[in-house]
Amino acid sequence: MGGMLDDTLTWGNAFVFLLWGVVLLVLVLGFVTYAIYFERKIIGWMQLRIGPNRVGPLGLLQTVADILKLLIKEDTIPRKADRVLFMLAPALAYVPAFGVLAVIPYTQDLYFADINVGLLYYVALSGITTIAIVLGGWASNNKYALLGGMRSAAQMISYEVPLVISVVGVIMMSGTMNLRGIAEQQGDWFWQWNFLPQIIGFVVFVIAAVSELNRTPFDLPEAESELVAGYHVEYSGFRFAFFMLTEYVYMYAIAALTTVLFLGGWHAPLAFLDFVPGIVWFLLKFALVVFFLIWLRGTMPRIRVDQLMGLGWKVLLPLAILNVFVTAVYLELFVK
């Protein structure tokens, strides 16, 4: 953890790193468990339904029961599937999702890895999940799964391009790809945060991030009406759970990344509120982004695949490039 260890790698330091890794894993698994619960509750509230209310007080153990059911279900592998790749794909999807969390700074002194190219590390590692999804669809030896995998790859690659370009303006203004450095340079007043001067990049980033998460209104890879659940149609039990876990871990990662890049990280929205610990502000902003993602799912209908690709290539990509040019002109003319 940042500030706690020196640069010398010893067995003691390695044990502490491992311990903190286990702590992060437990926290993320707890987030996934109750993000699913609150998503069902919030969408139920929006649609005038009750939501989970049977298992445990207020239904708090419903997701735990669902996860237990997945873990003890029979693990089936299609007879003509590529067994090695079929078993590898869920793990290959989840490991990068968890690995990207290493570079997220929660406060100025609370972080796991402080690397100079933290943003580049995030983008590079998250791209591996696309390969895992294609691999899962292809290894299933099922035409529906293959179609879902290819459609998912096309969507994720198409939206990764504007997603990356949308943060170039933030990098230009901050002069660094270090996530902690980007958060530190945003002041203690909300109008100093990057989401205002980078409003175009912020909008493009949010839309592209929702598509990267394969969530409504961009949940075409899992469009049950056409694809019989998409690339993971042949998966069951804990392997299916790994794919679902990946989606919610990425929700955690995207919410944290949005907070750091555009919403001031751990900074208070008003300077006189800086007596509140930074981690509290970070968690409040993080929760707001997660709620926004759930709100979208409960509100928006799924769009068609031609609308999806057109939005990515014809609207978001030009806007992201325009944002880079506008930022460059601003820095050249007004920033000495």
Give pLDDT tens digits for 224-249: 566 567 888 899 888 999 998 998 99
Tell me what pLDDT residue 226 has: 62
CA distance 2 to 29: 22
Tell me what pLDDT residue 225 has: 61
**Structure tokens belonging to residue 201:** 């990049």
Tell me what pLDDT residue 294 has: 94
149-191: pLDDT as tens digits: 888 889 999 999 999 999 999 999 999 999 999 999 998 888 8
Residues 6+ apart with CB under 8 A from 81: 139, 140, 141, 234
CA distance 310 to 118: 30
Tell me what pLDDT residue 44 has: 94
> Which DSSP category does 303 fall into?
P
8-62: pLDDT as tens digits: 668 888 888 888 888 888 999 999 999 999 999 999 999 999 999 999 899 999 9
Q: Average of pLDDT values for 274-301?
A: 93
Q: CA-based Rg of the chain, rounded to a whole angstrom?
A: 21
- Categorize the per-residue pLDDT at 5 as very low, low, confident or very high, splitting at 50, 70 and 90: very low
Q: Average of pLDDT values for 114-132?
A: 91
Position with higher pLDDT, 21 vs 207: 207
CA distances from 213 to 89, 152, 207 (A): 17, 10, 10
Q: Average of pLDDT values for 99-128?
A: 90
Does position 221 have pLDDT exceeding 90, yes or no? no
CA distance 257 to 265: 9
CA distance 54 to 51: 9
Tell me what pLDDT residue 122 has: 93
Residues 6+ apart with CB under 8 A from 284: none
Tell me what pLDDT residue 224 has: 57
* Contact call for residues 132 and 73 (beta carbons, < 8 A): no
Does position 3 have pLDDT exceeding 50, yes or no? no
Tell me what pLDDT residue 1 has: 54
DSSP 7-63: S---HHHHHHHHHHHHHHHHHHHHHHHHHHHHHHHHHHHHTT---S-SSSGGGTTHH
Tell me what pLDDT residue 4 has: 46
Tell me what pLDDT residue 252 has: 94
Q: Is 71 exposed, middle or buried (0-12, 13-18, 19+ CB in 10 A)?
A: exposed
* Contact call for residues 253 and 173 (beta carbons, < 8 A): no
The rounded mean pLDDT for the chain is 89
pLDDT > 90 in the chain, percent: 60
Peptide bond into 162 cis (omega under 30): no
- Categorize the per-residue pLDDT at 223 as very low, low, confident or very high, splitting at 50, 70 and 90: low
CA distance 236 to 242: 10
CB atoms within 10 A of CB 6: 7
